[in-house]
Structure 1
Amino acid sequence: MEKLKLIATAAMGLESIVADEVRSLGYENVSVENGKVVFETDPQGIARANLWLRTADRIKLIVGEFQAETFEELFEQTKALPWAKYISKDAEFPVIGRSVKSKLFSISDCQAIVKKAVVESLKKSYKIDWFDENGPLHRIEVALLKDKATLTIDCSGTGLHKRGYRYLHNEAPLKETLAAAMIKLTNWHPDRPFYDPFCGSGTIAIEAALIGQNIAPGVNREFAFEEWDWYKEEWSNKALEEAEDLANYDQALNILGSDIDHKMIDLAKNNAMEAGFPDIIQFKQMQVKDFRPTEEYGVIVGNPPYGERMQERKYVENLYRDLGQTFKDLDTWSIYMITSHPDFEKLYGKKATKKRKLYNGNIRTDYYQYWGKRPPRK
């Protein structure tokens, strides 16, 4: 099979985690850049990447890359690319764009020129003058960085954070991709207890269950590439069969999510049911200070309120103090909290073992990591 070049886009700060996932899938020539991971694979790899990458935002197929400092260069080199190889004559192919530190800075002009060049290329290939664009979606992106143009087609459709289980959520939901990354940055193993003290709509707990049973996060949703004429159904089916074979549904899990709001608990239970974990994840209405584990060597991952609004600041600061008091004697537990509050460590009462800068949407946060004692070797 031919080799294709793909991009897995990543939120700022998650590139190395996405790259680790890409490498674990066995892909070749993996390189990490700001906001993306580039790699090579065969066509079946499009399906596998979309199914398995837990922390990437979306998968894009690179059609071509070239230097372009003038609109003429952009037009001619885009026109020369093999668009008919990927885009059928009935396809819908809108063009989006972005430009950073490039002479061609007008995004609307770049989009219009790329659209015209693709149309001219397809006219020549299909010997027709008009495209109805009422078929499968092939969203093209022209991305210019320091005068280098990268032309891609989006393989995913809706973003990969849309797993298909969260039809309802709270006001400020944590993206599933960030939740998965937060878990991957811990030392949790599926045979250890896992607790989310601010579960909201249940995202962190559900992502932990997916990871714990090695279930591909994309198995219950659809992707844009599945509708493409050139993409063989057998490639998708083979990737789905592999995902089913690798899932470990018999793995016992001890996952608890709690929240002070009973409406959130109902929401989390509903989402867990949609995800296929109606009896595996436990959700409980509870204050954090009432957490009294009997197990050892567990992991706590939380996304507490940040106190971004002034009226919430005092409540949040008292909450962080309570967290420090509640967790101070859990020396065999590892604790991970994400927040934008600059004084978290001071309020919590302990300096983190490690902290990492992450972005929750557009909010710059720190991920505070408190490592507990390691369990004795068996």
Structure 2
Amino acid sequence: MELQQFISPCHFGMEAILKREIYDLGYDIVKVEDGRVTYEGDMETICRANIHLRTTERVLLKVGEFHAETFDELFEAVKAIPWENYLPVDAKFWVTKASSVKSKLFSPSDIQSIVKKAIVERLKQHYGVNWFEETGSSYPLRVFLNKDEVTIGIDSSGESLHKRGYRVLSSKAPITETLAAAMIMLTPWKADRILVDPFCGSGTIPIEAAMIAANIAPGMSRTFLAQTWNNLVPMQLWNDSFEEAKELVTTDIETNIQGYDIDGEIIRAARDNAKRAGVDHLIHFQQRPVSELKNPKKYGFVITNPPYGERLEEKEALPKLYREIGEAFAGLDSWSEYLITSYEDTERCIGKKADKKRKIYNGMLRTNLYQYIGPKPPKKKRPEA
């Protein structure tokens, strides 16, 4: 099969990070839109993208793109796609999600129904059967409509890629693994610099940082739906891709990654999660309030997801908490601080305007990533010859 196009969705506001990841894997970018990136590759791309990409929620195999303003146009355009190239006669297929933005066709249930009917009609003609048992591998479809432009993809990931497999226990308001990784990758932090998360919860930000430092691919310890697509992706491609990821791992490194939380029970959960991720030896977790955030070292990083106060009783405590955050920041000479929150009085309570503020949607919740950028450390002198 010739080169294919793939679509990877991401958090709104983090498209540039995902684009860089895809480039680093060696693939050409076709298009960048709000919340998703389209790129080109061969079928091995399904394996490598699922295993290596840290900031996407899934990898879709793009099968069609066309204009449609009526259900008749939608039906005929879907029917014209060569579905027999993707779906075997026993395939289990359904439209798992349909979304519509500024389009004349806006009913998700009707879109789902029409697309399924059109595919069935196409496959009936090709396979010469009137009934499909759908007892084989699963091929869930996703349909996007934007200004009457329709895009259809087959989901190769299955469970969302933020589910790395290490987080069994989590805090009340955990940040997703994909967003945590994107936050870290947005900063100039490197493995030889100190990183502290004073609201680490179940450890997601420190764990993602340690995995980045050790070059542990996020999908190394999980399975993907497309591993059953024998008609499209030979098992040898999966074996080679997992082997490639294993060879890149370097866990025998020194890091200074720390996670603090006021809740001792959640700290124990964070340690267990880090152990499952294979990075417990790279992180120091400790029960400690943010008011005790001190460090004599210079040029470190705070990357954190503090409480937002979604419940009324929690919201009342936020001004005091964010003032404590500001006092802690003031004591960290030359450090850089990055925090994501939906709390609107963040800058006023911290007592300092952020150098940069980036709007990010965490699910349906609008948040801001406040960036307080410290100075760069002096360049190390080269030893005399």
In the superposition, the TM-score normalised over structure 1's length comes to 0.96
Cα deviation code 1:87-134 (max 9, x no counterpart): 122221011322222222222222111111111222222222221222
> Do the aligned residues in 1 keep the contact of 2:294 with 2:331 (CA within 8 Å)?
no
Q: CA deviation at 1:70?
A: 2.2
Residue 190, structure 1, aligned to residue 191, structure 2: yes
> Which residue number in structure 2 is paired with residue 248 of structure 1?
250
> Do the aligned residues in 2 keep the contact of 1:210 with 1:216 (CA within 8 Å)?
yes
> Which residue number in structure 2 is paired with residue 34 of structure 1?
34
> Do the aligned residues in 2 keep the contact of 1:19 with 1:30 (CA within 8 Å)?
no
- Quick one: structure 1 residues 53 and 149, their matched pair in 2 at CA, closer, same or farther if it must change by over 3 Å? same
> Which residue number in structure 1 is paired with residue 264 of structure 2?
262
Taking the TM superposition and a 5 Å limit, the aligned residue runs for 1:80-229 are: 80-95=80-95, 96-229=97-230
> Do the aligned residues in 1 keep the contact of 2:211 with 2:279 (CA within 8 Å)?
no
Cα deviation code 1:228-287 (max 9, x no counterpart): 122111111221122122222222211110101011101101111111123221111011
Measure, in 2, the Cα distance between the counterparts of 1:167 and 1:224. Answer: 21
> Do the aligned residues in 2 keep the contact of 1:205 with 1:281 (CA within 8 Å)?
yes
SS at 1:169's partner residue?
coil
Q: Aligned partner of 2:353: which letter?
A: K
Structure 1: unaligned runs, 5 residues or longer? none
> Do the aligned residues in 2 keep the contact of 1:27 with 1:41 (CA within 8 Å)?
yes
> Which residue number in structure 1 is paired with residue 383 of structure 2?
none
Taking the TM superposition and a 5 Å limit, the aligned residue runs for 1:293-308 are: 293-308=295-310
> Which residue number in structure 1 is paired with residue 62 of structure 2?
62
Stretch of structure 1 that moved more, 303-312 or 182-191: 303-312
> Which residue number in structure 1 is paired with residue 341 of structure 2?
339
Measure, in 2, the Cα distance between the counterparts of 1:266 and 1:359. Answer: 29
Cα deviation code 1:176-224 (max 9, x no counterpart): 1111111111121101111110011110111001111111111111111
Measure, in 2, the Cα distance between the counterparts of 1:251 and 1:28. Answer: 32
Measure, in 2, the Cα distance between the counterparts of 1:100 and 1:319. Answer: 39
Measure, in 2, the Cα distance between the counterparts of 1:371 and 1:71. Answer: 51
SS at 1:209's partner residue?
helix
Stretch of structure 1 that moved more, 261-270 or 133-142: 133-142
Q: CA deviation at 1:79?
A: 1.3
Measure, in 2, the Cα distance between the counterparts of 1:99 and 1:362. Answer: 16
Measure, in 2, the Cα distance between the counterparts of 1:364 and 1:71. Answer: 33
Cα deviation code 1:45-66 (max 9, x no counterpart): 1111111111111111111111
> Which residue number in structure 2 is paired with residue 319 of structure 1?
321
**Percent of counterpart pairs with the same letter?**
51
SS at 1:94's partner residue?
strand
Q: CA deviation at 1:362?
A: 1.9
> Which residue number in structure 2 is paired with residue 371 of structure 1?
373
Q: Aligned partner of 1:143: which letter?
A: F
Cα deviation code 1:143-192 (max 9, x no counterpart): 22222221211111111111111122122211111111111111211011
> Do the aligned residues in 1 keep the contact of 2:22 with 2:29 (CA within 8 Å)?
no
Q: CA deviation at 1:360?
A: 2.1
SS at 1:58's partner residue?
coil
> Which residue number in structure 2 is paired with residue 76 of structure 1?
76
Q: CA deviation at 1:23?
A: 1.4
Stretch of structure 1 that moved more, 96-105 or 43-52: 96-105
Cα deviation code 1:324-345 (max 9, x no counterpart): 1122131221111111111111
Q: Aligned partner of 2:185: which letter?
A: K
SS at 2:280's partner residue?
coil
Count of matched residue positions in the alignment of Structure 1 and Structure 2: 378
Residue 274, structure 1, aligned to residue 253, structure 2: no
> Which residue number in structure 2 is paired with residue 8 of structure 1?
8
Q: Aligned partner of 2:302: which letter?
A: I
Structure 2: unaligned runs, 5 residues or longer? 381-385
Q: Aligned partner of 1:158: which letter?
A: E
> Which residue number in structure 1 is paired with residue 24 of structure 2?
24
SS at 1:93's partner residue?
strand
What is the RMSD computed on CA atoms of the aligned residues?
1.4
